[in-house]
Amino acid sequence: MNVLRRLPGKDVVVALLAILLVFGLSGALTGYQVYVVTVVVIFTVIGASHTILFGAAGQPSVGHAALLGAGVYTAVAIGQAGLGMEVELVGGVVVGTLIGVVIGLPSLRIGSLYLAIATLALCVVGQQIYFEWTALTGGGAGVQIPPPTLFGTVYTPLGLLYIALVMMGVCLLFARNLLRGRQGRAWNALRTSPLAASSLGMSLGWQKVAAFGVSGALVGCAGVLYAHAVNYVSPQDFTLDLSIVTLVIAIIGGQRYLWGAALGAIFVEGVPEVLRAAGEFRYVIFGAVFVLIMLFFPEGFAGGIVALWRRWGPGRRPSGPAPVELQPTATLVEAELAQSTTGAGGGGERLSIKDVRVAFGGVTAVDGVTVDIAPGSVVGLVGPNGAGKTTLLNAISGFVPVESGTVAVGEHVLRARRPAQRRALGVGRTFQNLSLHEGLTVLDHLMIGQHAVAGYGPVGQALRLPPFVKGERRMRATALETAEILGLGHLVGERVENLAYGVQKRVDVARAIVARPRILLLDEPAAGLTPDEGDDLVGRVLVHSRHVGATVVLVEHNIELVMRVTDRVVALNFGRVIADDVPDVVRRQDDFVEAYLGS
């Protein structure tokens, strides 16, 4: 049983079997039924394009009807030039990708809500353009499309269905390969927590553009198939409603799963045909089902099936995930002892903060702070509320611009850079609000944490080349190792939203350290935890950091804890440094006491 579970690509095998089954049964279908199945297949591909763009990358688009039109009219143009369907398919994919990328470019500037509205605009404008471009589209009258000719042979509708099935298989395989691996994880990461994603080195805008491009490629291909399936097409077809229907297909079927697109297509396109007898009721049912799915099954049919399988299927657990074993006292003592090994691991950089000033809205949050942190040392950053601690962390990690002064990692002076580039310099951080990726497992988080050091790119991933295989194996091993360090070894397969808060915090920390950052910024790791949980977590991460020699900046309110485990304490108040020395000296210092207690 275990062997079967580990077989790579078993989902591909299942899909292949399903496709072959449809292949086989198709011979027995009537002409009309062949048409319906072909439409379902085509809409599965379009649904899959939303699985990537919306399900993974989180960008809703109601402009896909225009993209479909682009694919259709590319086929028309190429067909009119006397070339066969094989050229049409290539053309459709290329045109779809190009237009997809162009639509996606605004992602570099605007947020997802506004981009969604822009796709709405695109759809309406696109349809008008098709109406006006009568030479290509025939205007309101539309245009007839000849039967498909592939490599010289003319195909019947049944033949078209076979071609469509093959293309669907290819498209889904391509999509699946992209989704399983670094690229898919990156899309999911940016959807669920853009903040964390950028701190891990992902360029949010370009990732979205890529998603648009891939989505466009799929729809372009579908457009070519669509043209031949319906034989006669006019700009009337490419309405906003159609765009919405394609998105709904992905959502009803379950936008997180590729096979959900198939379920959605069957439900939306197939069932109404079957229910023709029900007449007008079918759309009422459709609308009602959609509302119910939104209310009760936001993960769609596929998500519902998976949830049921998890609850009632083999391998189910009666109780929730097991708790993490805590050893607060032991780990803290270890952390204290480890203070003697400062810098030994060699994995840290010097962090030089010189006269940094950060201001927004007329408030100077950080007012000329200078701190020099030796490689491998652990510095506690404390201070009352509003003292500027988190702002300083945000400045170091690139989330907030520095008005004056410099921050340098080793020899590199950091300019006004995006957080993604900080990662390349080895700066890792945790977040006060966790910023975890809902719906993803602990292991996923640890793999996402290694995004910047994966060692392969999207092409290698799509084609499953050796760098991909090696990279995945290596990252997985590192991930499991890091999980063990933080006591998460037995929880790697759990979705993080099912975990207790204390465990979630550990995942946040694990994600930050898995790629061995040279500078680790911990933003209140013990906040919201019981005293034992807090001590255990901070203890573990510090023992590990000391071991690899990373430089650590620890922001904490638990002064007791900070005094015990750090080499040095820097205290801020009103954005200025009021104390900077070893813990014992600082705690007795007058202005430190005054900052907390008032005069």
Partner 1 sequence: MSTFFQAVVTGLMTGGVYALLALSIALIFKTMDAVNFATASMGAFCAFLFFQVGTVLGLGWGAGLAVSALGAVLLGLAVERGIVRPLGGGDLFRLVLATMGLDILLNNGTQLLFGSGVQNINAPLPSGGWDVAGVNVDLARLTILGIAVAGTAVIAVVLRCTNLGVGMRAYAQDPQAAALMGVPARTVSRWTWVISSLLGLIAAVMVASVSVLSVGFLQGTFISAFTAAVLGGLSSLPGAVTGGFVLGVLEALSIAYAPRAVTIVLPVLIILVVLMIRPAGLFGRLSAQRA
Partner 2 sequence: MAADEGLVLRGVTAGYGRSSVLHGVDIAVRPGRRVAVLGPNGAGKTTTLRAVSGLVAVRSGEIALDGVSLVGLRPDEVVARGVAHVPQGRRVFPDFTVEENLRAAAYSRGGRDVDGDIATVLEAFPRLRDRFGVRAGFLSGGEQQMLAIGRAVVQRPKLVLIDEMSLGLAPILIKELYSRLDVLFSDVPAVIVEQNPSVALEHCSWVYVLSNGQVKATGPASEFSSPERLMQAYAGAVE
* Chain contacts with partner 2 (rule: CB under 8 A): 384-386, 500-501, 504, 524, 527-531, 534, 557-560, 563, 584, 587-588, 593-594, 596-599
Rounded Cα–Cα distance for residues 185 and 169 (Å): 22
Q: Which is nearer to partner 2, 324 or 515 (CB)?
A: 324
Out of partner 1, partner 2, none, what residue 114 binds, judged by CB under 5 to 8 A for its kind, is partner 1
Taking the complex as a whole, the smallest distance from the CB of residue 138 to partner 1 amounts, in Å, to 16
Out of partner 1, partner 2, none, what residue 32 binds, judged by CB under 5 to 8 A for its kind, is none
Out of partner 1, partner 2, none, what residue 60 binds, judged by CB under 5 to 8 A for its kind, is partner 1
Out of partner 2, partner 1, none, what residue 591 binds, judged by CB under 5 to 8 A for its kind, is none
Render 83-133 in DSSP notation, one character per residue. Answer: --HHHHHHHHHHHHHHHHHHHHGGGGTS-HHHHHHHHHHHHHHHHHHHHH-
Out of partner 1, partner 2, none, what residue 290 binds, judged by CB under 5 to 8 A for its kind, is partner 1
Taking the complex as a whole, the smallest distance from the CB of residue 298 to partner 2 amounts, in Å, to 18
Q: Three-state SS for 500?
A: coil
Out of partner 2, partner 1, none, what residue 504 binds, judged by CB under 5 to 8 A for its kind, is partner 2
Q: Which is nearer to partner 2, 529 or 553 (CB)?
A: 529
Letter string b/e over residues 467-487, b meaning 16 or more CB atoms within 10 A of that residue's CB: ebeebbeebeebbeebbebbb
Render 43-68 in DSSP notation, one character per residue. Answer: HHHHHHHHIIIIIIT----S-HHHHH
Taking the complex as a whole, the smallest distance from the CB of residue 564 to partner 2 amounts, in Å, to 9
Q: Crossing angle, helix 204-230 and helix 64-80, to 10 degrees?
A: 50
Binding site for partner 1 (CB under 8 A): 60, 110, 114, 117-118, 120-121, 124-125, 128, 131-132, 244, 248, 251, 280-281, 283-284, 286-291, 293-295, 298
Q: Longest C-alpha distance within the chain, in Å?
A: 92
Taking the complex as a whole, the smallest distance from the CB of residue 501 to partner 2 amounts, in Å, to 4
Rounded Cα–Cα distance for residues 49 and 380 (Å): 48
Place of tokens 């340098």: 408
Q: Which is nearer to partner 2, 408 or 559 (CB)?
A: 559
Pairing of strands 378-382, 551-555: parallel
Out of partner 1, partner 2, none, what residue 132 binds, judged by CB under 5 to 8 A for its kind, is partner 1
Taking the complex as a whole, the smallest distance from the CB of residue 288 to partner 1 amounts, in Å, to 5
Cα–Cα distances (Å) from 543 to 190, 337, 428, 539, in that order, read 31, 9, 17, 6
Rounded Cα–Cα distance for residues 238 and 60 (Å): 18
The closest of 76, 160, 104, 119 to 246, measured between CA atoms, is 119
Taking the complex as a whole, the smallest distance from the CB of residue 142 to partner 1 amounts, in Å, to 18
Q: Which is nearer to partner 2, 88 or 533 (CB)?
A: 533
Taking the complex as a whole, the smallest distance from the CB of residue 437 to partner 1 amounts, in Å, to 15
